[in-house]
Amino acid sequence: MRRVQVGMAVAAGMLVAAIPSQATAIQDGQVAEPDQFTNVAVLRFLDTDTNTRWRCSGTLVAPDVIITAAHCTEAADTVYYSFAPVRPTAEPDAPGDTGWTLGGSNLDAEQSIFTDPDWDGDLQMQSLDDIGVIVLDSAVTGIEPATIAPLGTLEGLPRGTLFTLAGYGIHYVKPTEGPRKPTAVAGLERSWTTSPLSALTSDTLMLAASPEDKRGGGTICSGDSGGPVFYDGLLVAVTSWGSSIFCRSGQGGFQRLDTADAFEFYGPLVG
């Protein structure tokens, strides 16, 4: 077990609801096979003071470390995880075997859940700093961690370069009759898609998304937050936000991991 002693407390800011909106999934993607993306986890966060709970995705990057988004770890004091291809549907603190594993807690003198201290709740193009890290109470066995891309990996890539996204997000279905407003369908299975590069900033990877786009197709939606973006087999970013209310098209913002600023936060925790 590797735990990190609490140093200076980081104030948890309130996430601002804005456009671009918080990405919280894979729409029009593919259901992953059991042996695909095995290091991608579904996460259940709890704030025990308010009995608030929420779900995100994340990636195992060391036997005892999962990386996700800051807007997922912010305000959480307890986290559970599962690497099952189909996520558990029971609450993790329910009686009996729920299928969840306790990842760690910030309720004692040691810290398991870390939020980038530069994260200010502002979902934007630049200076995103949307990174969260979970140092697990015990190492995960039987799963190969993902490899984080070296610094500068994304520099110079041409527009249209395809990236692979994965997560446990919801998707929307438009009814064939009656009211045509799309309906949210709970994301149970780990799924994936590809999306093409539309822009790159010093901090953020921007990917386009449209079901009609022959270069890619799918997009993120609620529940995919913190999930991985892969390029050439390397973890290059985590899911941050999307611009489409029903996750159908537009573009999404993804926090780069291949920058010096990002590494300054997560590097000492990943080890």
Domains in the chain, please, with CATH? Answer: 4-26+38-145+259-270 (2.40.10.10), 162-256 (2.40.10.10)
Give the model's pLDDT for residue 217: 66
Instruction: Tell me which DSSP letter residue 33 carries.
Output: P
Give the helix, strand, coil percentages of the chain, each rounded to 5: 5, 35, 55
Task: Please report, to the nearest 10 degrees, the dihedral formed by the alpha carbons of residues 59, 63, 64, 68 taken in order.
Answer: -10
Give the model's pLDDT for residue 14: 27
CA angle 256, 262, 263 (to 5 degrees): 120
Give the model's pLDDT for residue 28: 74
List per-residue pLDDT tens for the chain, 271 residues long: 333 333 322 222 222 223 344 554 577 788 899 999 999 999 999 999 999 999 999 999 999 999 999 999 999 999 999 999 999 999 999 999 999 999 999 998 889 999 999 999 887 667 799 999 999 999 999 999 999 999 999 999 999 999 999 999 987 877 777 667 777 777 889 999 999 999 999 999 999 876 666 666 678 888 999 999 999 999 999 999 987 777 877 789 999 999 999 999 999 999 8
CB 29 within 8 A of CB 218: yes
Task: Please report, to the nearest 10 degrees, the dihedral formed by the alpha carbons of residues 173, 174, 176, 177 taken in order.
Answer: 120
Report residue 31 CA to chain centroid gap: 17
| Those residues with Cβ within 8 angstroms of residue 217's Cβ, 6 or more apart along the chain or in another chain | 28, 29, 193, 194, 195, 209, 210, 211
Give the model's pLDDT for residue 17: 29
User: Cα–Cα distance between 54 and 3 in angstroms, integer?
Assistant: 23
